[in-house]
Amino acid sequence: MSRFDPAVFAAIVGEPHVVTDADAARRFLTDWTGRRTGRADAVIRPRSTGEVAAVLTACRGRGIAVVPQGGNTGLVGGSVPADGDRPTIVLSTERMTDVGTPDPVEMCVGVQAGATVAAIEAAATSVGAHFAVDLASRDSATAGGIVATNAGGVHVVRHGGTRAQVLGIEAVLADGSVLRRWNPLRKDNVGYDLPGLLAGSEGTLAVITGVLFALVERPGQTAVAMVAIDSIDEVFALVAAVRTAGLTVEAVELMTKAGVRLVVESGSRPALAGESAFQVLLEVSGAEPAQRLADVLDTVGVADAVVEDGPARALWELREKHTEVIARASATVPVKLDVAIPRRGMGGFVAELDVWAPSEPYPCRPIVFGHAADGNLHVNLLDIPDEEQSAAAELMLAKVVERGGSVSAEHGVGRDKAAWLERVRDSADVAAMRAIKHAWDPEGLLNPGVLFV
Ligand SMILES: Cc1cc2nc3c(=O)[nH]c(=O)nc-3n(C[C@H](O)[C@H](O)[C@H](O)COP(=O)(O)OP(=O)(O)OC[C@H]3O[C@@H](n4cnc5c(N)ncnc54)[C@H](O)[C@@H]3O)c2cc1C
């Protein structure tokens, strides 16, 4: 007999927010890629921290697993439940969207977990500030989701990842108690960094209900260049030249010929007349950035480039449409691997991929793009039959590890890469992580199957 009783949860969040109808629940049970579909007894949509605490208390007493979900844009299968018969709820933060008034002196804003990245940036802009996390999923990805995955995005090269923006946190623990550290202090060394620990915890330690984010100064005038390059190593020489010229590097995004071609075929305007092996998008800030960036590109002898005043949305579109057009262009759901490679090895890795991918044992079309300055590549393998996808992903990740890379740069481990945890971290490291998990969630109710197999 199921331990799930909808009436218990309806009494907490209200009947309309206990979703049990299969059609209404479908969007919460399938991930963004469409590759993972799970099962849950219900989707519960609380409005407040108090309601989340009551929901978790009810789950604990009944042995019901909880899958926290924000915008459901995660790409490693962590935001949807597994397809088993364990009593499970999805806890969606989609009603927890409050954004507080930004504080222009303390340079921070407090938000509920379900506030989107776009909403946080809009609030920051209203006081002349800026939210340092930005990613193409900005209209759906949430505060709780970006903290739980320690999301990267396009400005890591300038400001660091999400963890670096977290000043305070509010979270409900597995036993229903509320942990709250909510102080805009930049310096506070009292005890363990629990907000930092929750960053990257992927819903396995607590349900994040609110985040106090740091804001940064707006970059002022920006310029964006699209530059044709023949080898990835040229990216780092370009970035060094731009910095030497006194410009601030805001973003460095890499694309390949194959990826740009797909985006252009989908209707976007090409930036450059010719086709080069790679294109790199550089965003910089500083005084007279467009002119100075053009001067730097001349000095280093770039043959083909275009420079525009920021925000240069048409140039950014060429990069940001990659995920969407790749999904449409593949005959099967593409294998998507977010990896990091030491900078010196990136060129060799991509060259090897171009040779390996079209050949046996898993012939496919590779399309790579990513946040180049961070050594972060998004490897997409198109047209691989469903039954061969896991083996192809394994082979690819093994090549990443051989090159001293990481199997997860910014998307997290989720369910997709859980089997890799013990292969890339040593036994003491894994034991310490398991001890933390056990201390915070002794009954293993929070996002089972994510991070740990
Ligand atoms: C087009 C596109 C572009 C993207 N670009 C980037 C990029 O540049 N950089 C990048 O890092 N990622 C990127 N992503 C991946 C994704 O957007 C990020 O991982 C994002 O952080 C997920 O946020 P979300 O709110 O959608 O979380 P979900 O997908 O809902 O959840 C992700 C994980 O966080 C957990 N979680 C969510 N909310 C909570 C909460 N309140 N408390 C505890 N755990 C929670 C979930 O259980 C799950 O494990 C992209 C995705 C798409 C579709």
DSSP assignment of 3-18 equals S--HHHHHHHH-GGGE
Query: Atom 8, ligand 1: which residue's CA is nearest?
Result: 153
Closest CA to 282 of 327, 241, 322: 241
Mutate to test the pocket of ligand 1, among 30, 44, 98, 137 (most ligand atoms within 8 A of CB): 137
Q: State how far the Cα of 153 lies from the Cα of 159, in Å rounded to an integer.
A: 10
What token pair was written down for 262?
A: 């797909």
Residue among 47, 72, 92, 135 to mutate when testing ligand 1 (max atoms within 8 A of CB): 135
**Residues 377, 76, 321: CA angle, nearest 5 degrees:** 50
Which of 224, 259, 213, 256 is closest to 115 using CA atoms?
213
**Contacts by 187-193, CB closer than 8 A, 24 or more apart:** none
33 lines ligand 1 (CB under 6 A): no
CA of 290 relative to ligand 1 center, distance in Å: 33
- Ligand 1 pocket member 46 (CB < 6 A): no
Q: Residue 195 has which token pair?
A: 């907000």
| Residue labelled with tokens 């000095």 | 299
Orientation angle between helical segments 49-62 and 6-13, nearest 10 degrees: 160
Structural tokens at position 422: 């013990």
- State which of 134, 149, 204, 317 you would mutate to test the pocket of ligand 1, scoring each by most atoms of that ligand within 8 A of its C-beta: 149
At 3 the pLDDT is 82
Whole-Å CA distances, 56 to 60, 66, 80, 81, 162: 6, 8, 17, 16, 26
165 CA distance to ligand 1 middle (Å) = 16
CB-ligand 1 contact for 161 (6 Å cutoff): no
CATH 3.30.43.10 fits 6-92, yes or no: yes
Q: Which atom of ligand 1 is nearest to the CA of 113?
A: 41
Architecture of domain 330-412: 2-Layer Sandwich (3.30)
Distance from the alpha carbon of residue 116 to the mean position of ligand 1, in angstroms: 11
Q: Which atom of ligand 1 is nearest to the CA of 96?
A: 41
Judge contact between 380 and 366, C-beta under 8 A: yes
- Equal CATH topology for 222-320 and 330-412: yes
Residues 55 and 49: their CA atoms lie apart, in Å, by: 10
Q: Report the nearest atom of ligand 1 relative to the CA of 154.
A: 8
| The CATH number of the domain covering residues in 222-320 | 3.30.70.2190
193 C-alpha to center of ligand 1: Å?
22
Report the atom number in ligand 1 closest to the C-alpha of 409: 11
Pick from 44, 48, 66, 69 the residue to mutate for probing ligand 1's pocket: most ligand atoms within 8 Å of its CB.
69
**Rounded to an integer, what distance in angstroms lies between the CA atom of residue 111 and that of residue 96?**
9
- DSSP assignment of 282-343: EEEESSSHHHHHHHHHHHTT-SSEEEEETT-HHHHHHHHTHHHHHHHH-SSPPEEEEEE--G
212 alpha carbon – ligand 1 mean position (Å)? 18
- Tell me how far the alpha carbon of residue 44 lies from the centroid of ligand 1, in angstroms: 19
Instruction: Give the up-direction half-sphere exposure of residue 38: CA atoms within 13 A in the CB hemisphere.
Output: 30
User: Ligand 1 in contact with 376 (CB < 6 A)?
Assistant: no
Task: Judge whether 94 and 47 are in contact, CB under 8 Å.
Answer: no
* 211 C-alpha to ligand 1 centroid (Å): 15
* Ligand 1 centroid – CA 169 distance (Å): 17
Per-residue pLDDT of the chain (453 residues), as tens digits, is 458 999 999 999 999 999 999 999 999 999 999 999 999 999 999 999 999 999 999 999 999 999 999 999 999 999 999 998 899 999 999 999 999 999 999 999 999 999 999 999 999 999 999 999 999 999 999 999 999 999 999 999 999 999 999 999 999 999 999 999 999 999 999 999 999 999 999 999 999 999 999 999 999 899 999 999 999 999 999 999 999 999 999 999 999 999 999 999 999 999 999 899 999 999 999 999 999 999 999 999 998 999 999 999 999 999 999 999 999 999 999 999 999 999 999 999 999 999 988 887 888 999 999 999 999 999 999 999 999 999 999 999 999 999 999 999 999 999 999 999 999 999 999 999 999 999 999 999 999 999 999
198 lines ligand 1 (CB under 6 A): no
CA 180, CA 288: separation in Å to the nearest integer? 44
Domain boundaries, the chain: 6-92, 108-217, 222-320, 330-412
CB of 79 shorter than 6 A to ligand 1: yes
The encoded tokens of residue 375 equal 């050594």
Find the farthest-apart pair of alpha carbons in the chain and give their distance in angstroms, rounded.
Answer: 73
| The two structure tokens encoding residue 8 | 């218990």
C-alpha 97/C-alpha 79 separation (Å) is 18
| 449 C-beta closer than 6 A to ligand 1 | no
- Judge if the beta carbon of residue 150 lies within 6 A of ligand 1: no
Q: Which residues lie across from 227 on neighbouring strands?
A: 280, 305
- The domain over range 108-217 is classified in CATH as 3.30.465.10: yes
Sheet of strand 305-309, all strands in order from the earlier edge strand to the far edge: 305-309, 222-229, 278-285, 248-256, 365-371, 376-382, 335-340
- Is the beta carbon of 92 within 6 A of some atom in ligand 1? no
116 Cα nearest atom in ligand 1:
25
pTM: 0.96
